Chain A
Amino acid sequence: MSEAQISLSHICKVFSLGDVEVKALDGLSLGIRQGEFVAIMGSSGSGKSTLMNILGCLDTPTSGSYRFESVPVETLNRRQLADLRNTKIGFVFQGFNLLARTTALENVELPLLYDRHRIVANPQARAIEALQRVGLGDRLDHEPNQLSGGQQQRVAIARALVTNPPIILADEPTGNLDSRTTLDILALFQKLNRDGLTLVVVTHETEVAKYAGRLIELRDGVLLRDEINRQPRDAQADLAVLTGEVSDEAA
C-alpha cells in the first residue's frame, strides 16, 4: 500500500449566510492513495462539492489540515496554489467550464501556457495528443457551442489531462449526459485509472459509482460510508452490450 497522496484531517468548512452559519463539512478526515478510483456520493447539500473544491485547491477549509503529497496546502500562497492546480491537479467541472468562443484546441492548450516550471516546447502538439486521447482528434477547431455535451465534457477532460497531473478530480462529470455518453466517459476514466492516475469523481448517481474502486458517501458534512468496491463494473464491456454487436463503432 502506497502512502496517502491526499490526506484530510478534521476538515471543517463553514459558510455564513447572514446570521446563520452552515457547516458544509464537519470534521472530515480522509486519505486517498495514488492510483485509486474513488466515487464520492451524497445527496444535495451533503458537502460533496465543497469537499471537491477543497481537494482541488479552489477553496480553503475553515479549519483542519489538508496535505497534498505531504505538503500542507494551507501554508501555500496564492501563487503556489495556482502552480499546484496547474501541474498536480486536473479538474473536470460539472458545467464543463470551457472558455466560450475559443476552440477545443485552445481550451486544452491553456493550462500548458500557464505552466512556468516546465516550459512546454510544443503546447499545441501536446494539446492535440490530449484531445486524441479522449477521441476528439477530429474536433480540434470546434468551439464549445459547436460541440455536444459529451464532446464538451471530453474537451474538459482533455484539458485536465494535458499537464499530465497525478490526480484528476471530476465534479459530476456525467451529470447532464445520456447513458451512452456516460459510459464513454466512464470507460475513459477507467482506462486512465489503469494507467496509474488517481481519480476522484463526485456523483449522485449510484449507477456511476458502481464503476469506481472505492465508494465514499457523505451526509451533512460527515463521512457516512467508506468502502472498497471489490468488483467494479467494466464500462467498456457495458458499452459493448449497449451498442449491441456493432461494437466497432463504439466511441
Chain B
Amino acid sequence: MRLHKLILVALKSIARNKMRSLLTMLGIIIGVASVITMVALGEGSQKDIEGEVASLGTNLLMVRPGSIDTGGVRGGAGSRASLTMKDVARLEKNATQLRWVSAEVRASGQVIAGNNNWNTTITGVSPDYLAIRNYAIESGTFFTARDSKTRAKVAVLGKTVADELFPDSDPIGERLRIRNVPFKVIGVMAEKGQSSTGNDQDDIIFAPDNTVLYRLSNGKTIHDISASAISSEAMDAAKEELTTLLRSEHRLATDAEDDFIIRDQTEIVEMATQVTGTLTLLLSSIAGVSLLVGGIGIMNIMLVSVTERTREIGIRLAIGARPFDILAQFLIEAAILSLLGGAIGIFSGLSAAWGVGSLLGVSAVVNPAVVLTTVLFTGAVGVFFGFYPARKAANLNPIDALRYE
C-alpha cells in the first residue's frame, strides 16, 4: 500500500480513539517538552553568560596577587599583597600588547548623604577602567587622570547606590561622606544589572585610584590590575608580556614562582560553560528517561491496538495484504503517535521555556538543530517501540486472525 494511504489509515485510527491517543502521547509530550525547555534555558543562560563576559570587557586580562608562601605554608590566592601602583605605572610605560591598564583598589564602608546612608564598596580605578570593563556613564562625567594625580575627592555612583542615597534628587554635584571623607558626586554609571554569580554590579562607587588608595586604603598595595590586550589575537602575547614586566618589576629570580595570577575571560567562559553544560546534560538525561517511559507507553497501547484489531488484520491479510503491509501500517501509526506527541511537546516546551525564562530572567534560545534532533528522536522512539507490536500483527496467521473474537 502506498505511503500516503498508510498515513491516512493511521491518522484515522488515531482520531478514532482521541482520548486514548492523547494519553499515550502524554509520556512523549512531557519528555520532549522537558528536553526542549531544558535545552532552550541552558543555551539561553549560556548566551547570557557569554554576553556578560563580553560586558566585563573586551580582551580583558585580570592580574591578582599570588599566594603567600611562608616556610612552606601557603596562603590562598591574593594572600600576598604584591601589586602596587608602581606595577601599574610600569605596565603603562612599557607594555606594547596592552591598550589600557587600570589599578583596582577596593575599600568598603558606610556612605552617608544627607539623611540616607548605605554600605557599599568603593573601587578606585583609573579613567581607562571604563573602556576596559565596557562601563558607560549615564549622567555627569567620569574622573580624569588629573583627578587621580591630585587624589581628588570625586565619586561616580553606581545606579543602586545613587537610588539608595539620592532617591528623589539628582545626585550630580551633591556631597557625600565615605568613612567620614567628604566626596563630591560627579557622575552616575549606566545600569549594568546582575553578574552571573548574582552580585549587583550597580552597588558600587568609583573614585580615582590614588584617592581610594591613600584616603580609604592602606596607601601601599592595590587589589587587582585590569588590562585590555590590543586585540583578541594578542591575548597570549599580552599575557606573556604582563608576566615578564611584572616579574622584572618584582625582581623575581628566574626559578621563583610568579607572585601574581593572570586570568582572562576565556577561563571564566569555560568554567561557566562547564557548569551549564553539566546541568543541561543532567536535566536532559532525566528528560531522556521520560522519553523512554513515553516510548513504553506507546508500545503498550500499540499492543492493545493490535489485539483489538486482530479481525481487521485478518481481513487485510485475507484480501492480499503482505505481512510487510501490516508491519508498515502499525509502525507508521506508532511513529505518527510519537511524532504528534513530539510536536505537541516541542510546542509546549517552547512555551514553558519562554515562560520560565521570563520568570527567572533567563533568556530562552531556540536551537533549530535541537528541535530537529528531537523530532528525529521521537520518530525513532515510535518506530523502535512500535516494532514489536507491529511485528506481532504482521506475523498473525490470516485464519486465526479472522476467527479472533
Give A residues with C-beta under 8 Å from B: 53, 56, 58-59, 78-79, 82-83, 85-87, 91, 93, 97-101, 110-111, 113-116, 159, 163
Contacts and interface: CB of A to CB of B under 8 A. Distances in A.
Nearest to A91: B318
6 contacts: A82-B322, A82-B323, A83-B322, A86-B320, A116-B322, A159-B319
Interface string B380-405: 00000000000000000111001000
Q: Which of B318, B320, B321 has its CB near the most chain A CB atoms (within 10 A)?
A: B320
A114 B319 contact: yes
B16 interface: yes
Interface in B43-102: none
Given A100-B312, A113-B5, A114-B321, 6 more contacts: A91-B318, A97-B315, A97-B402, A99-B315, A111-B320, A163-B320
Given A58-B399, A93-B402, A114 B322 contact: yes
A127 to B, nearest CB: 13
A209 B318 CA distance: 25
Interface centre among B16, B318, B402 (most CB of A within 10 A): B318
A159 B398 CA distance: 17
Interface of B: 1-2, 5, 16, 311-312, 314-325, 397-399, 402
A78 B398 CA distance: 10
Contact of B320 (A53, A99, A114): A114
- Candidate in A56, A78, A116, A163 with the most chain B CB atoms within 10 angstroms: A78
Given A114-B1, A114-B325, A56 B316 contact: no
A91 B324 contact: no
B65 to A, nearest CB: 81
Q: Is the interface of B mostly helix, strand, loop or mixed?
A: helix
Nearest to A98: B315
Given A58-B399, A78-B323, A82-B323, A110 B316 contact: yes
B321 A58 contact: no
Given A79-B324, A110-B319, A114-B322, A53 B399 contact: yes
B1 A113 contact: yes
Contact of A85 (B2, B312, B320): B320
Contacts of B311: 97
A228 B147 CA distance: 127
Nearest to B2: A113
A83 B320 CA distance: 6
B12 to A, nearest CB: 8
A94 to B, nearest CB: 10
Given A59-B399, A113-B2, A97 B318 contact: yes
A155 B369 CA distance: 50
Contacts of A100: 312
A113 B6 CA distance: 10
B320 A101 contact: no
A86 B324 CA distance: 14
Contacts of B319: 85-86, 91, 110-111, 114, 159
Nearest to A56: B318
Contacts of B2: 113
**Which 10 pairs from chain A and chain B are nearest by CB?**
A86-B320, A82-B322, A59-B399, A58-B399, A111-B319, A85-B320, A58-B398, A114-B320, A113-B1, A114-B321
Contact of B321 (A56, A82, A97, A159): A82
Contacts of A91: 318-319
Given A59-B399, A93-B402, A101-B16, A79 B318 contact: no
B295 to A, nearest CB: 28
A115 B319 CA distance: 10
B318 A115 contact: no
A111 B317 CA distance: 10
Contacts of A115: 320
Q: Which of A97, A111, A113 has the most CB of B within 10 A?
A: A113
A191 B398 CA distance: 30
Contacts of B322: 78-79, 82-83, 114, 116
A159 B321 CA distance: 14
Contacts of B316: 110, 114
Contacts of B398: 58-59, 85
